[in-house]
């Protein structure tokens, strides 16, 4: 495990690009600058030998059948047969497309780890540090941050690599909630962080 006071080892670090899929980005207009920052963050992590992990939400027929009516987030999607795993709306944004060797997981709940083998794939690669970017701040970023903290990952959140329809909630999470479990940084800080300077 990394020393919390030391710079992260890029080779033990993964940037998680979460829910940047067409159906989400198209529903939140004005994201081009954010997508450009995340694209640069991906390039920065790759340049330092880090891992990129992609997380998308998408369902099979069996997944829809397994969503109970009490699930306030996904019951309606299941009833409407939304976000089918082969539908173009669940494809990762074209500007952020995965490359061979990247981790790609498909989830059926909010957090990146709860319905995937993401934790195992990260552990198999010796990853102990995560940098989080995602849509939305109060959804996948919050859920993944809490679970990853409980799993003892060292955590960073890209403040300008996430957004939310509720800007007030986003601001409270980034300024008051996330710093209890993670370091909140700007995408522009990544190169110096990964270089250990």
When pLDDT is averaged across residues 121-138 and rounded to a whole number, the result is 97
Look up the pTM and report it: 0.94
| Lowest-confidence region among 65-79, 144-158, 182-196 | 65-79
User: Is the previous residue joined to 136 through a cis bond, with omega within 30 degrees of 0?
Assistant: yes
Indicate the pLDDT class of residue 82, thresholds 50, 70 and 90.
confident
When pLDDT is averaged across residues 38-47 and rounded to a whole number, the result is 98
Q: What is the pLDDT at residue 197?
A: 63
Tokens of 180: 């209890």
143, 181, 144, 141: which is closest to 158 by C-alpha?
A: 141
Q: What is the pLDDT at residue 1?
A: 45
**Residue 156 has what DSSP assignment?**
E
CATH of the domain spanning 10-194: 3.40.50.850
C-alpha distances out from residue 7 to 13, 43, 128, 175, 194, Å: 11, 19, 12, 22, 7
When pLDDT is averaged across residues 73-97 and rounded to a whole number, the result is 91
pLDDT tens, position by position, 131-154: 999 999 999 999 999 999 999 999
Domain ranges of the chain: 10-194
For 146, other C-beta atoms within 10 Å of its C-beta total: 15
Q: What is the pLDDT at residue 4?
A: 55
């Amino acid at each position: 495990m990394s020393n919390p006071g030391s710079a992260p080892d890029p080779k033990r670090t993964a940037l998680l690009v979460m829910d940047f899929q067409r159906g989400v980005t198209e529903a939140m207009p004005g994201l081009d600058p954010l997508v450009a920052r995340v694209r640069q963050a991906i390039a920065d992590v790759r340049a330092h030998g880090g891992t990129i992990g992609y997380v998308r939400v998408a369902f099979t027929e069996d997944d829809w059948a397994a969503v109970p009516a009490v699930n306030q987030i996904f019951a309606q999607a299941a009833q409407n047969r939304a976000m089918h795993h082969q539908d173009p709306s669940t494809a990762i944004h074209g500007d952020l497309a995965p490359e061979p060797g990247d981790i790609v997981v498909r989830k059926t709940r909010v957090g990146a780890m709860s319905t995937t083998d993401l934790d195992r794939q990260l552990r198999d690669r010796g990853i102990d540090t995560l940098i989080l970017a995602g849509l939305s701040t109060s959804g996948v970023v919050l859920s993944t941050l809490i679970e990853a903290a409980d799993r003892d990952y060292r955590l960073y959140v890209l403040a300008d690599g996430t957004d939310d329809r509720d800007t007030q909630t986003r601001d409270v999470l980034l300024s008051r909630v996330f710093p209890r479990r993670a370091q909140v940084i700007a995408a522009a800080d990544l190169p110096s962080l990964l270089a250990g300077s």
